[in-house]
Each structure stands twice: as C-alpha cells, then as structure tokens.
Structure 1
C-alpha cells in the first residue's frame, strides 16, 4: 500500500484525532495540520483538534491563522493522560515527543509526518522524507491520492506553506514541491497568497533586527550576532535571513533572550557547513539544536544563568561570550580573528 492508503486505513480505526503542532508553529506545520484534519474527516473521524504550545508571534504566522480562520487550541497534558483507545495522536512537521513540543517524552504517537532530520522515529505510521522541502508537500500528495475535497482555503494554506518553507522555491525545493504547487495553484486564492506574503511588521521586530545589525561579529565568512532580550521570538529568523545576505557572509547565527530561554536561529548557503549539526554539537549538552544543513534553530534554558544575575546587561554579556565561544569552537574559528 502507498503511504496515503496506509494513513487512511489507520484513520479508519479512530473516532477522534489530536494533531499536535510544534512550538511556535509556522505555515508549513499549520497547513499540514489543517490538511490532516480534512483527511481524517474524509476517513470518518468527526472530532479533530489542532493543538500547539508556545506562541504564534511571527506576523506572517498570525496572518496565516487569522485569514484562514484556523481553529487552534493550547496543548494540555490531559490530552495524552486521558486518551481513549480510539483517540489518535498525530505530529506534523516534527517527530519526537518532548522535542520542540510539550508532549511528555514517553507518549505513544500514532502518526508522524515530517521532513526534518530525525532519528529513531517511533509511531504506528511514519512518513519521514528529509529530502523534501516542506511537510505540506507530503500532505498535498495525500489529498490528491485520497481524492479529498480541496477548497480554496486548504489549497491556499498548502501552497503558501510550500512557498514559505522553500523561500519561494529557492531553498530545498524538489520536483515534488513544484508538482504539488502546480496542482494547488488552480484552487488557491491568489489574493490571499499576496496578503500572506506581505504582512505588517511590528516595531519590536524592527528593533530586534536593528540590534542584531549593531551587535554583529564577523569571523571569516561567519557572522554571529544577538538581538538582546525580546518578546518577538520570530524576529530571530527574520534577523538572520537579513544578515546572511551581507557581502562575504556564508553562515549567519543569531541568538537572543526570549522569556526564560536563549533561542538561536542559523542560516548557511555554504554547502560545506551544516548548521543543523553545528547547533546540535555546540549545545546538545545544555539544550537542543538542529535542523537542515542550511536552516536550523536551537533553544537553551537559562538555568543557572538566570540565578547568576538579574541585570540583563551582565546576563547578555556573559551569554554572548559563552555562546560565541562555543560556536566559533565548533566552526574551528579563532575568536581573536572576529571583527
């Protein structure tokens, strides 16, 4: 059986499905969850929930949820604690309980659909394709294969997700992405695509990007910077997307303090550098990090740092020294050479 047929068969065993997004879900995760919900409904599951932890803080993600009227609910531990045998649990655009989600690590998962690098994925149904540029590409394949009704909202969500996760087909796009986009284009709302592509930017995001520009340190073709403390978590990927375009820079990493954790975002068009591995190796002992060879992120709990000082300036200075030293060491760069 094909993956689509296997999924349909498993869905036939359930009466309810909880679809868990990763923390701070992006359009690829949200569109994939929306599509899986539609597929589940077509398979006879009347009750579907899309759940998430964290925040919808990126202006594009907020616009995506609002314009497409996606019903999102906070993930609560009772979802897995009180599960009935016919209640299915699914992950989209991520794969492991306790990693980039608040699902207890020992939880049994029924369905995993993902394209991010991962090892030892444990679920009853797994479709894990690292070679693809977006999870939405996989869900589009299922929608087509199972002849699920494709209205304008679902087509728009999936098409925008593919475009977003591949930077308009400039990053990681495969023939499958182009094929899926060609299929979706006929049904999608092009005016909504334009609205989603140009959301307004908050003042906090602009301030964070400005701070990252001011704090940049360049060592060879590597740029490391920080945004200080911010409430705009999604300003980090926007800042790093901007800074990696600086002439002579091939790898950019930006970090910042968000609530009680240090968040990192990395980009590298340099085929010789795998930023997913860099962040994982540099911070695996104190937090989590990983992703693709050219796009990655990480999170480190403040822990003892927060107990050391309540002065943000001192805290940032200490964190900047430690984070930068670990990154330069992992990249085999001398700190003395940094500008």
Structure 2
C-alpha cells in the first residue's frame, strides 16, 4: 500500500535517498544487544530495498531473542561469522546506532564503497559515510518510514509490523515522553497498513519462558538504593542467567523495576555478559542526561535511556557507574573529563573500532 502519510518534520537528506536508489547489493546491520527499534527498522528497510530489486543481507552482532524472532523475516538475520562469503556489497547501511556498535559486522560494512548511517541517537557523532542522525525522532523506525516514502516504496503488512514494533519499542509502548503526535499518527497509519498492535505486543512483551518469570524475582531481590534514595540498581550474574536456562538475548527489561520506585532519579541494571564484561543499562527521570554518562563510559543512547559495556568485574562496574551518577546528581551537571578515557572501562576491541572510525 502506498505511503500516503508524509512526515514533513523529518525529511531525509537527498544524498542518502540518492545513494539508496543506486544500491544493487546492500548489507544492513543493527547494533549489539538488539531491540525492537533496531531490528524492526533494519528489516523494514531491507524489505523495502528488496522490493526495489536490491539484493540485501541483514546482520546483527548478537543473536536475536525469541521475541524478536517473531518479527516477519527475522530468521534471515545473519551473524557476522562467515559473512564475507556473501559479499561484496556496493552499499553498507548501519541502522539505529553508530558504526562501532555493529562490532564484528563493521569490517564488512566498511568494505562497501558507500556507507549510510541512519540513527536517532544524539550520541552518534555522525563521522562515517552518508549520515542521517535525527534525535527528534522517537525511534529510528520513524526515519526509515520517511526513507521508504521518499524512495518511494509501498509498504506491505510485514513492513508495517516491523515499523510498529520499532515505534512501540523505543517509546515504551507509547508511554515515554518522546511519544509525539507525529509518532501516534504514524502508528495509526501502520495499523491501517496491516500492523496488529495486539499480536505485536503479545510477541514482544507478553510471552516469556518460565525461567524469565522466575529470574524476575531473583533480580528484584538484588535491588539496592543509594542513601538518599535517588539511585536504585539491580544486577544479573552469569550464574543467575544460566540457572534460569536463558540466553543473553532473553534477559532484557529488568531495569524497569528500580526505575518505577518513587523518588528514584536514575535506575541501573548491571548484567554480566558471556565474554566477561558488564553491560550497564541506565534510565533517568530527566534530572540527569544519562546519554552523557554512557558516552563517557564508551556507550551512548538517549537522555533518559542509554547503555554501555565495561571491561570490569560486576563490583567494579557498580562502584564506577554509581559514583559517576552520584556526582552528576550532586552537582546538577556532568563531571568534567576526557570522553572515552580507557580507564573508564572501554574494552580494547571497542577502542580499536573507535580508533578505526576516527
């Protein structure tokens, strides 16, 4: 069906549209720790390009969760290993992140003569290729819809499902204050095109393994608060994940519990990863811009929702991040210092990728 809704507030840059119209073989990638916005946006854009005759390959550096695999076409998303056999590509497309967060997929993307980066994170410095970074968008899915409209590509029900999932994911099911009237108009339009809010919500948020529900109680029992009650955090160890019989991709979302406590300004989740690092999720009620904190720690994101990964033990990561958040709350501003400093826990592999991009 024709994209007859126009997002005039979000016009795609002409060079990006021109490059996409010229693409013949495209590699699309999303970020580590995939979420509905990055996966939904990538799948919608890939399907749209395929409908224009482009040969597309989709890749994610981490496995998709069982929930995300319910999205149409998600089973085709590749891991970076062995990806070189499918090249070469004339266009590399990074969706919903800066290139460094595609990790092992980045060398393949960078091998393409044209690299395009479409994102809505304000921490994306936009230094690689043809870049469209629009922080005003509630989700990268809004930007992908604008791109598909400009190409133009007619949306089918599968693409409507992808983009609705993207919007729903990054707006907290339309509860966060990044939900604009434009976002709701687009969501309604996607429903008209065939997206089913009930089915998408059931697949992404209302269907979990028994181990996840049991793990929820265990995670909540790790809850701690700062003396003034403005910081609350929980943690998730490898032992806890393994005992629940879950994969890393199936243990997201627990940061919501410390965030809902009255009086908490910043909520944190510390999760040990399978490679010995600690993944940190940061959520703010608005007093602290956690995207700046995450950037200092080698990550990024949004003012109220960000993340980073630290090369540290769980106790070290907790002490480091809580001290940084405490200082930001005490001073009412971020501590001064050199961004991406190695002693803040950025892993050597991530440092190498960032150095290659600079």
TM tier, shorter chain? 0.7 to 0.9
Aligned partners of 1:256 and 1:159: how far apart in 2? 28
Q: In 2, Cα distance between the equivalents of 1:119 and 1:5?
A: 20
How far the C-alpha of 1:131 sits from its partner, in A, is 1.3
Q: Secondary structure at the match of 1:276?
A: helix
The offset of 1:94, in angstroms, is 0.9
Q: Does 1:254 align with 2:269?
A: yes
Bigger shift: residues 155-164 or 113-122: 113-122
Cα offset for 1:71? 1.3
Shift of 1:126: 1.7
Task: Name the CA shift for 1:299/1:135 in 2 (closer, same or farther; >3 Å).
Answer: same
* 1:8–1:43 contact (8 Å) kept in structure 2: no
What does 1:87-236 align with in structure 2 at a 5 Å threshold?
Answer: 87-96=90-99, 98-104=100-106, 107=110, 110-171=115-176, 172-190=178-196, 192-219=199-226, 220=228, 221-229=230-238, 230=241, 232-233=247-248
CA contact (8 A) 1:209 1:235 kept: no
Q: How well do the aligned residues superpose, as a CA RMSD in angstroms?
A: 2.9
- Does the CA contact (< 8 Å) of 1:137 and 1:176 recur in 2? no
Q: Which residue of 2 aligns with 1:308?
A: none
Structure 2 spans left out of the alignment, 5+ residues: 1-10, 332-358
Displacement of 1:194? 4.5
Residue among 74, 89, 99 paired with 2:79: 74
Give the TM-score, by structure 2 length: 0.75
Counterpart mapping for 1:18-37 below 5 A: 18-37=27-46
Q: CA deviation at 1:323?
A: 4.7
Runs (5+) with no aligned partner, structure 1: 306-315, 334-339
Deviations 1:71-118 (A, max 9, x none): 111124764x9964x62111011122x335324479366111100123
Q: CA deviation at 1:69?
A: 4.9
CA distance in 2 between counterparts of 1:31 and 1:208 reads 27
Q: Distance in 2 between matches of 1:319 and 1:301?
A: 8
Give the 3-state SS of the residue equivalent to 2:175 in structure 1.
Answer: coil
What residue number does 1:9 align with? 18
- How far 1:144 moved relative to its partner? 2.7
Q: Report SS of the residue matched to 2:110.
A: coil
Q: Which residue of 2 aligns with 1:265?
A: 281
- Structure-2 residue corresponding to 1:292: 302
Q: Displacement of 1:275 after TM fit?
A: 1.5
Contact 1:35-1:139 within 8 A present in 2 as well: yes
Can you list the C-alpha shifts for 1:104-163, whole angstroms capped at 9, x where unaligned?
479366111100123431344221101111001111122233341221111111112211
CA contact (8 A) 1:208 1:227 kept: no
8 Å CA contact 1:25–1:56 kept in 2: the answer is: yes
- TM-score, normalising length: structure 1: 0.79
2:71 paired with 1:52: no
**CA shift in 2, pair 1:280/1:235, >3 Å:** farther
Query: Does the aligned pair in 2 maintain the 1:77–1:103 contact within 8 Å?
Result: no
Aligned with 1:328 (options 326, 329, 332): 326
How far the C-alpha of 1:217 sits from its partner, in A, is 1.8
